[in-house]
Chains A and B, each alone.
Chain A
C-alpha cells in the first residue's frame, strides 16, 4: 500500500485503496446555458458524467445533431470527486463535456439526449427542449455576459445590430460626407465579379482535397452592394461529417471592408471562419450558410433580405497505405511532439508511479495515447488537461496526460516508449512522435506477488483459455481461381453436347447432298454435258471424228434428258415431228435434226476436216444449252 501512496501525484487515489467504499452507478447530469434563444444564436449544452471508482471511466461523449441546429464540440475536461459522508468515502471520476449549439429554426428545439460509454455500455443523459424565437425577440437577459457559460461565441455582432463602431458606415443618406473608398482590404476579400447586384454570400476553403483529420479552413463572407447593412438570422453551415472549431471568435478585429468589384464599391465582412476536421473519407459536403441583410436598398419594412451560400464539397481520403507505421490511427494528422516524466523511479512491488506525458503540436491533438503495455504493468485511466484551439488560423495546443501506472512485477521494469504515429500533410510523410519512459526499480513483495498471480488467474476465462495463439504459420494454400471464372469452362460445357448434335446434323446433310449429287450426275443431261466435254477434248487433240461422234452422242442424250425421246431408235424423218410433239419449237427441232444429219454424214464419209468438226461441236454446245434450259423448265412445270 505504501507504493500506492508514493509521490504527490498519487494522493487522489487514496479513496481507491480504501476497502469500505460507497459505490453507486453512473451519475449523469445535464445543463444548458439558456432555455430561450434567438434564431442564429448559440447556447451551451453540458453533461457531467461521473462513474464510481473501480468502474470503467466514462468516455466517448456524443451529442446527435438535432434537426434545425448545428452542434460544435465537445470540449471535454476530466473530473475527480472524493466525498466523505457518514463514515464512508465515495470517489468518483469522469468528465464534463460541453457542446455549443446554434439554433437555426424558430420553434421548439429538442437537444439530446447525449450519450457516454462506460465500458461497453452506453448511457444517455436527459434531453432538453429549448425555445427558439425570431431574431430580436429574445429574452432581455442577453447582454455581454449570458450566464455561467460566458458570452455567446457566435454573436460576433455583440447584439449591436451592426458590425461597425458608431459613426462608421452609417446610412449615407444621413451623412453629409460619405466615406471615400480606400482599397485597404485583405486579398481574401477580393472577388472578380458579383454574382448578385444587391448582396451575396461567398464561401472559401483553403483546400479541396485532404486526408481524414487534416484541418480545412472554411470562411464565409457577406457582400452588400447597396451601402451599409445590418445582419441577422445567420445560420451555421451543416458540417455533420467534420469536427468544427470556430476560428473567427478568437479574432476581436472582425470588421467590414470596402471592396471594389468591377466599378462598384461593396461592403464586405467575414462572418464565419471555422477549422473543420473531416471524420471520414469520401466526398463530404459543407452545407449552405444563410444570412439576412437589413437596410436601405436591401429590404423593405425592416424585413431581412436572405442570401444563401452554395453548398461545397471536398474530397477526403486516407493518408497513403505505403509507409504507414504500426499503430497509426486514421485521423492523427498534423505535427506532434511528445515528452514524458516518470516519478518516482523506485517503488515496492504492487505500488505505482506517476507518468506525466505532454503532447503538443499542430492539428486536432488526439485525446488518447497508445501506451506500451506489458505483463505486470497496469496503466490506469489518465487525467487529461490542456487546451487545443485556433492560433492564427491554425488549430494547435497541448494536452497533458497524467497516468498512474501500477507495477505488479519486481526487478528493473522497463516501462517502454510511448509512440504516436502521425501523418504530416505539410511534408507528405509519416512521422512518429516518441517519448522514452525508461526503467523503474521495483522492490519485491511476497504479498503483492501472490495478489498479482491471483489476478492473472482470475482474468483467464473459458474463452481466453480456449483460444491459444498459434506460434507458427501453418500451410495456407491459396485457393485457386474457381473454375467458373475460367472463360473457356462454360464454352466447353455447352459445346461438347452441341458438337455431337451438330456432327449428326452435318453427317445427315452430307449424306443427303451426296445422294442428290449422285442422282444428278446419273441423268441424261449430265451425261450429255460429259459427252460434250469429251467432244471438246477430242477437238483439242485434233481428232475430228471422235469429236463429231461425241457431239452426236451428246445431242441424243440431251434430247432424251429434255424430252424423254430416245432419238437413236427413230429414223431421221420421224425425229422432227416427235420433237415437235414434245413441245420443242419447230425451228429448234429442224436445227437439231439437221445437226444430227450432219454428224451422221461426217461419220460415214471418213476423214473430217477439223473446221467442220469445230463448227459441229459449237452448234452442239448451243443446242445442248437450249435443250438443258428446256428440260429444266419442263421439270419445274411438272413439279409445280
Chain B
C-alpha cells in the first residue's frame, strides 16, 4: 500500500513540474491582448514570443506587426539586447506596411529604426549602404498591380470602342474619332498590361525580405564569400527580394546586385 501512495505522490510531482502544454490562445485578438499585457508589464521576451507565435500560426495583422516592432526596439535598447533586434523591428514594420501600405506611423517608425541601425553601424566603423530597387522594379512599383490592371482594362475598352467606330461606321467624323480612340487605347492597353504583367511576375517569382542579422555577407552559390569588388555585405534592416533558394542559402536581389545569403539572416515578409 505504501508503494501505491509513493507512486501517486511521484506522479503528482511529475505532473506539477512538467506540465503538458495548456490550451494556447487561438485568435488574433487573444494573442494581441496577451502580448500587449506582457509588453506593458515589461516582459519583452514573452511579448515577442507571443507576437512571433501569432505570425507562425499565419495570424497576421498590421497592428500586431507594429507592436512586434515596438517590442524588438525596446529589447534592442535594453540590457537584454540580442544581435539583429533592430533588423527584426525593421522587418516587422515592413510587414505592417505590406499589410497596410498607407500606415504613415509605420513608415516613420521604419525610417527611424533604419536611422538608428545606421548610427550604430557608424559607431562601429561600418558603412550603411542603402540601395534602390532595380529600374524595372521601380517602374512597376509606381502604381499598384491592380491599378495597372484597371488601366489596362480602360485601354482595352478604348481600343474596342475605337475599332468599333472605325470599322462599323461610315461617317468620316465617326471613323476619325474611332481611329484616334483606337490608337490611344492601344498604347494605353499595351503599356499598362505590360506593367501589370511585370508586377505580377515580380510578385510571383520573388518575395520581399529584410536582413535581421548584424549584416548578411554576400556569397556565391557554393557558399563562399563573394569577391572584394563591390559591396560584400547587406546591412541589418535592409530590404531585399528573395528570388530563389539553394539549400541553406537564399538567392537575393538587392538593388541591381544579385547574390546568396544564409536564409537564417533574412525574415521573409508575409502577405
CB atoms of A324 and B214 under 8 A apart: no
B18 touching A499, Cβ below 8 Å: no
Supply 10 A–B pairs (Cβ within 8 Å), ascending by A.
A282-B248, A325-B24, A327-B46, A370-B49, A429-B20, A432-B21, A461-B77, A471-B36, A500-B163, A503-B168
Whether the Cβ atoms of B99 and A483 lie closer than 8 Å is: no
In the bound complex, what is the Cα–Cα distance between A316 and B18 (angstroms)?
26
Whether the pair A466, B17 counts as a contact (CB closer than 8 A) is no
B153-A473 in contact (CB<8A): no
Given A476-B61, A476-B63, A484-B145, also A497-B156 (CB < 8 A): yes
Interface status of B79 (Cβ within 8 A of chain A) = yes
Known: A336-B18, A431-B18. A473 touches B28 (CB 8 A): yes
List B226-259 residues whose CB lies under 8 Å from chain A.
247-248
The answer on a CB contact under 8 Å between A323 and B24 is yes
Query: Measured between alpha carbons, how far is A484 from B120 in the docked complex, in Å?
Result: 42
A538 to B150, CA, bound (A): 68
With A321-B56, A326-B49, A469-B36 given, is the CB distance from A464 to B73 under 8 Å?
yes
Excluding A120-B83, A493-B193, 5 further A-B contacts by CB distance (< 8 Å) are A120-B81, A280-B248, A282-B247, A327-B45, A370-B46
A252 interface hit (Cβ, 8 Å): no
Q: Which residue of B lies closest to A381 (CB)?
A: B79
Partner of A373, one of B43, B64, B77: B43
- State whether B29 touches A120 (Cβ < 8 A): no
Contact B21 A473 (CB under 8 A): no
> Within the complex, which residue of B66, B164, B214 is in contact with A470, where a contact is CB–CB below 8 Å?
B66
Q: Does A85 contact B (CB under 8 A)?
A: no
List residues of chain A with CB within 8 A of the CB of B191: none
Q: A282-B247, A471-B36, A497-B159 are in contact. Are A327 and B41 (CB under 8 A)?
A: no
Contact across chains for A476 and B247 when beta carbons are under 8 A apart: no
From B21, B63, B108, B152, give the contact of A430 (CB < 8 A).
Answer: B21
* Contact present for B42 and A373 (CB under 8 Å): yes
Q: Counting CB contacts under 8 A, is B173 at the interface?
A: no
Contact of B21 among A120, A325, A335, A501 (CB under 8 A): A325
Q: Which residues of A contact B146 (CB under 8 A)?
A: 480, 482-484
Residue numbers of A with Cβ under 8 A of B are 56, 117, 119-122, 280, 282, 321, 323-327, 335-339, 370-378, 421, 429-435, 459, 461-464, 466-474, 476, 479-480, 482-485, 489, 492-494, 496-497, 499-501, 503-504, 507
Query: Taking the complex as formed, is B19 at the interface, i.e. its CB lies under 8 A from any CB of chain A?
Result: yes
Contact B109 A482 (CB under 8 A): no
8 Å CB contact of A324 from B53, B149, B150: B53
Contact status B167-A324, CB under 8 Å: no
A-B pairs, 7 with minimum CB distance: A375-B42, A483-B149, A496-B160, A504-B167, A500-B163, A430-B21, A373-B43
Q: Give residues of chain B (36-55) contacting chain A, Cβ–Cβ below 8 Å.
A: 36, 39-46, 49-50, 53
CB distance from A482 to the nearest CB of B (A): 5
Pick out which of these stretches binds chain A: B1-9, B130-138, B196-204: B196-204
> Is B46 a contact partner of A326 (Cβ separation < 8 A)?
yes
Query: Within residues 68 to 117 of chain B, which ones have a CB less than 8 A from any CB in chain A?
Result: 69-71, 73-74, 77-83, 99-100, 108-109, 112-113, 116
C-alpha spacing A324/B17, complex, angstroms: 18
Residue of A nearest to B100 (CB): A476
Q: Which residues from B are CB-within-8-Å of A473?
A: 28-29, 32, 61, 63-64
Judging by beta carbons under 8 Å apart, are B160 and A433 in contact? Answer: no
On whether the beta carbons of A431 and B20 are closer than 8 Å, the reply is: yes
Q: Determine if A433 and B17 form an interchain contact, defined as CB atoms under 8 angstroms apart.
A: yes
Closest A residue to B33 by CB, please name it: A473
A468 near B70 with CB under 8 A, answer yes
**Which residues of the partner chain A approach B203 to less than 8 Å between Cβ atoms?**
482
A493 and B156 form a contact (CB under 8 A): yes
One of B17, B57, B66 near A321 (C-beta < 8 A): B57
Distance A41 CA – B62 CA, assembled complex (angstroms)? 56
By the criterion CB–CB under 8 Å, are B163 and A327 in contact? no
- A335 CA to B99 CA, complexed, in Å: 39
CB closest residue in chain B, given A422: B18
A496 CA to B199 CA, complexed, in Å: 23
Total B residues in contact with A, Cβ cutoff 8 Å: 79
For residue B157, CB closer than 8 A to chain A, the reply is: yes
Which residue, of B18, B50, B193, has the highest number of chain A Cβ atoms within 10 A?
B18
Of A321, A378, A463, the residue contacting B73 (CB under 8 A) is: A463
B106 CB → nearest A CB, Å: 10
Nearest-CB residue, chain A, relative to B168: A504
Chain A residues, CB < 8 A from B66 = 470
Structural contact, A432 and B19, CB atoms closer than 8 A = yes
One of B70, B77, B109, B152 near A459 (C-beta < 8 A): B77
CB-defined contacts of B150 to chain A, threshold 8 Å: 483
Q: Which residues of A contact B64 (CB under 8 A)?
A: 473
Task: Report which of A325, A459, A476 forms a contact with B99, defined as CB distance below 8 A.
Answer: A476
Question: Could you tell me the distance between the alpha carbons of A504 and B196 in the complex, rounded to whole angstroms?
Answer: 29
Q: Which residue of A lies closest to B29 (CB)?
A: A473
Look across to chain A and name the residue whose beta carbon is closest to the beta carbon of B58.
A321
Q: Which residues of A contact B78 (CB under 8 A)?
A: 459
CB atoms of B77 and A493 under 8 A apart: no
Q: Which residue of B lies closest to A461 (CB)?
A: B77
Bound state CA distance, A331 and B81, in angstroms?
A: 21
Q: Are B112 and A370 in contact (CB under 8 A)?
A: no
Cα–Cα distance between A221 and B104 once the two chains are bound (Å): 64
Residue of B nearest to A475 (CB): B100
Residue of A nearest to B158 (CB): A497
A485 and B18 form a contact (CB under 8 A): no
Please, which residues of chain B bring their CB within 8 A of the CB of A282? 247-248
B124 touches A (CB below 8 Å): yes
Q: Which residue of B lies closest to A484 (CB)?
A: B200
Q: How far is the CB of B19 from chain A (nearest CB, A)?
A: 6
* CB-CB under 8 A for A434 and B200, given A467-B73, A496-B160: no
Complex CA gap A56/B73 in Å reads 18
Which residue on A lies nearest to B53, using beta carbons? Answer: A326
A-side contacts of B53, CB under 8 Å: 324, 326
Candidates A120, A476, A499; contact of B160 at CB < 8 Å: A499
B239 CB, nearest partner CB in chain A, Å? 19
A497 to B152, CA, bound (A): 13
Q: Which residues of A contact B74 (CB under 8 A)?
A: 464
For A492, what are the chain B residues with a Cβ–Cβ distance below 8 Å? Answer: 153, 156
Q: B189 in the interface, Cβ–Cβ < 8 Å?
A: yes
In the bound complex, residues from chain A placing their C-beta under 8 Å from that of B49 are 326-327, 370
Docked Cα-Cα span, A339 to B14, in Å, equals 12
- Would you call B45 and A470 a contact (CB within 8 A)? no
For B77, the chain A residues whose CB sits under 8 A away are 459, 461, 463-464
Given contacts A120-B214, A324-B56, A482-B149, contact A337 B18 (CB under 8 A): yes
**With A373-B43, A421-B21, A500-B160 given, is the CB distance from A482 to B145 under 8 Å?**
yes
B79 in contact with A56 (CB, 8 Å)? yes
Chain B contacts for A459, CB-based, 8 A = 77-78
Question: How far is it, in angstroms, between the C-alpha of A29 and the C-alpha of B82 when the chains are bound?
Answer: 24
A470 to B39, CA, bound (A): 11
Contact A326 B24 (CB under 8 A): yes
User: Separation in Å of the B247 CB from the closest CB of chain A?
Assistant: 7
**With the chains together, A480 CA to B80 CA distance in Å?**
40
Q: How far is the CA of A430 from the CA of B167 in the complex (A)?
A: 72
B45–A370 CB distance below 8 A: yes
Verify if B128 is at the interface (C-beta below 8 Å from A). no
The answer to whether A373 touches B18 (Cβ under 8 A) is: no
CA distance A496 to B185 in the complex (A): 12
Q: Which residue of A lies closest to B153 (CB)?
A: A493
Give CA–CA (A121, B126) in the complex, Å.
Answer: 12
Q: Are B50 and A373 in contact (CB under 8 A)?
A: no
A16 smallest CB distance to B (angstroms): 13
Smallest beta-carbon distance A608→chain B, Å:
57
Listed residue (B16, B120, B149) with the most chain A CB atoms within 10 angstroms of its CB? B149
Complex Cα gap A376–B41 (Å): 9
Residue in chain A with minimal CB distance to B201: A484
- The CA of A121 and the CA of B145, in the complex, are separated in Å by 42
